[in-house]
Amino acid sequence: MGLERIAALLQGTHDNYETDHFKKLINSTSEIVKVKPNEKNLSSFRVIADHLRASSFLIAEGVLPSNEGRGYVLRRIMRRGMRHSHLLGSKEPIFFNIFKTLMEEMKHSYPELSKSRVFN
């Protein structure tokens, strides 16, 4: 996470997940699942934010979930993120709603996210 470390330095944080980008994803997740981040569940919020971002970029590049190769890796990443959403008490899929926050945050730097609109 080279870029995240630079962002953390520029924003004066000691943690990559405290940068503006990750804070927005974590706050969006918190609003959707109606649970506030705390010591016990913070890792789940971070996993969801990180895995949503990774999944979104893989899908924007044309990788789709499958049983082999890159598709299998994508599937595992998505399932882990979804498992952590269930640990936070969510019974419904939440990636779609959090993706809207990711797209708003990244659309200028990564227009391929809004162009592919796989989550639309």
pTM: 0.88
Per-residue pLDDT tens digits for 3-15: 778 888 888 888 8
Residue-by-residue DSSP string for 51-63: HHHHHHHHHHTT-
What single-letter DSSP state applies at residue 66?
A: -
Angle, in degrees to the nearest 10, between helices 2-11 and 20-33: 100
Per-residue pLDDT tens digits for 36-78: 999 999 999 999 999 999 999 999 889 999 999 999 999 999 9
Residues 6+ apart with CB under 8 A from 113: 56, 57, 60, 102, 103, 106, 107
